[in-house]
Amino acid sequence: MTPTELDEKLLSDVRNALEHEDSTRVNELLDEYEPADVAEMLSELDLDEQAEMLDDLPAEDAADVMEFLDRDEKVELAASLPLKLLAEVLDEMEPDEAADILLDLDKKQAVLALERMHPDLAELVRPLLVHDDDTAGGRMTSRFPVLRDWMTASQAIAYLRSLRPTSEDHYYLYVINRGRHLIGVVSLRDLIIALPRDTIGSLMDPDVIRVTTGTDQETCAQLISKYGLLALPVVDSDNHLVGVITHDDLVSIIEEEATKDLYGLANLSPDSDLGVFSPFKMMIQKRLPWLVINLFTAFLASSVVSAFEGTIAKVAALAAFQSIVAGMGGNAGTQTLTIIVRGLALGEMEFRDVWQVLLREFGLGVVHGLVTGLIVAGIAWLWKGIPILGLITGIAIVGNLVMAGLAGTLVPVMLKRLKLDPALASAVITTTVTDCCGFLFFLGLATLFLPYLQ
């Protein structure tokens, strides 16, 4: 059973029930599906059908389903809901989810919705609104169970039983002292196998890996992956426990960080909200500026070629080979760049490793340059019947592949050192280097050996 197979029939049944305003039937139909599947189906409906359907569901279910929508869809739908329904649904959401939606809504609507929410729940959401989206503070939830070190295991279990079930399960339970400082962690498993009278203080692990509200989500992703964590506690500057990043957010953080690297390297704004179905206007905003930047760097490379117009006018065949030299450099540079950027993102590479990596990439540039340079030289010679053309193409490729290795390593490392996103601008810069060097090496050599080329 894959959700895609189900879609069509369910969709038409639900549409039918919505048309007949048969909310019992809507509930019946959706009852047996996972919220994630209902969300997938919901996104196929029109906006007014979506609003109607959410209205038909119990607010709790509506909140569950909405949490699984894509960010754009979520906000578009929230914006179209009547204020009363919106507040009801937000009340049922995890505070971090509710905060994300409120932050994306038009300010006036957000303020009104927050006013309509249950005061206790609005109180949980409000502090989350001040943090940057991609920091630990922006990803944490403010509703989570806490234990005290003086509790016994059976008291802790009784406390967990007394909690209203939420859509997020907490498998790590954090322990705080009277001052709400984070002092330990107990896993649900520790708790279950403990003796009833064991105290939390004796069960807990006092070495808790923690982040502060301002910690970048990339660092969070590295910690999660390195230590195999299921949740990450967030403290303020005084070590007060203020939030928890739960496992479903951990997965999306890891996916988002990967998407951002991918986008940055492809000359796209590294915004993980950008997807196949993003609004047309957003697509242009996130793509066109990078095309324009590339355009200007392309002119830079083109001015190098232009400087050698005299040579090209004499041997027009050079125009056919210049792109090969520049292109090979671009490809090799992208390879190096991608490996370095991923290594930096996953925390495999540190600044101190740069000399070692640079030396390796230099060596790789030489090896790759010699192999591809020889092939090109051979083909150029055979094709155009000018041996010296083969020679200079080959030499230019070796030189350019070495430059590609060096630029592909140094550019992202330096951007990282400057606290900039290494994925962001390094592709443009590296390609500019390989384009300019490629043209310069090749056309420069050609000018030098011009008498032998004609």
Chain positions 122 to 161 lying near its own copies, rule: CB under 8 A, are 157, 160-161
Q: Which listed range, 95-103, 109-117, 120-128, 185-193, lies at the site for its own copies (CB under 8 A)?
A: 185-193
Token pair for 80: 């179209």
Judged by CB, which is closer to its own copies: 177, or 278? 278
Whole-angstrom CA distances from 52 to 77, 80, 121, 203 are 11, 10, 25, 49
In angstroms, give the least distance from the CB of 213 to its own copies.
17
User: How many Å apart are CA 402 and CA 360, to the nearest integer?
Assistant: 11
In angstroms, give the least distance from the CB of 321 to its own copies.
6
In angstroms, give the least distance from the CB of 70 to its own copies.
7
The pattern of x and - marking residues 29 through 58 that bind its own copies according to CB under 8 A reads ---x-x-x----------------------
Token pair for 199: 């105290």
Site size toward its own copies, by CB under 8 A: 108
Report if residue 445 touches its own copies, rule: CB under 8 A: no
Out of 31, 46, 227, 420, name the contact with its own copies by CB under 8 A.
227
Q: Where are the alpha helices (DSSP H) in 163-279?
A: 188-193, 200-203, 217-227, 247-265
Sign of torsion, CA 188 189 190 195? positive
CA-based nearest residue to 171, from 196, 150, 188: 188
Q: Is 180 helix (H, G, I), strand (E, B) or coil?
A: coil
Out of 18, 376, 377, 440, name the contact with its own copies by CB under 8 A.
376
How far out from the chain centre does Cα 294 lie?
23
Q: Are strands 211-212 and 232-235 parallel, antiparallel or unpaired?
A: parallel
Out of 200, 328, 410, 437, name the contact with its own copies by CB under 8 A.
328
Q: Which listed range, 88-96, 125-133, 233-241, 339-347, lies at the site for its own copies (CB under 8 A)?
A: 339-347
Report if residue 120 touches its own copies, rule: CB under 8 A: no
In angstroms, give the least distance from the CB of 53 to its own copies.
20
Report if residue 175 touches its own copies, rule: CB under 8 A: no
Whole-angstrom CA distances from 39 to 31, 42, 236 are 13, 5, 35
Q: Residue count of the chain, please give it.
A: 454
Judged by CB, which is closer to its own copies: 85, or 208? 208
How far out from the chain centre does Cα 436 lie?
31
Out of 144, 174, 263, 441, name the contact with its own copies by CB under 8 A.
263
Out of 146, 282, 312, 414, name the contact with its own copies by CB under 8 A.
312
Judged by CB, which is closer to its own copies: 103, or 229? 229
Cβ burial, residue 224 (10 Å; 0-12/13-18/19+)? buried
Among positions 78-97, residues that touch its own copies (CB under 8 A) are none
User: How many Å apart are CA 325 and CA 318, to the nearest integer?
Assistant: 11
3-state percent breakdown (helix, strand, coil) of the chain, nearest 5: 70, 5, 25
Report if residue 77 touches its own copies, rule: CB under 8 A: no
Report if residue 216 touches its own copies, rule: CB under 8 A: no
Q: Which residue is listed with tokens 């390195």?
A: 226
Report if residue 382 touches its own copies, rule: CB under 8 A: no
Report if residue 379 touches its own copies, rule: CB under 8 A: yes
Q: Is 213 helix (H, G, I), strand (E, B) or coil?
A: coil
Distance from the first to the final alpha carbon of the chain: 69
Among positions 236-255, residues that touch its own copies (CB under 8 A) are 247-248, 250-252, 254-255
Report if residue 332 touches its own copies, rule: CB under 8 A: yes
Q: Which listed range, 78-86, 115-123, 132-140, 266-274, lies at the site for its own copies (CB under 8 A)?
A: 266-274
Judged by CB, which is closer to its own copies: 203, or 364? 364
CA atoms within 13 A on the CB side of 259: 13
Report if residue 418 touches its own copies, rule: CB under 8 A: no
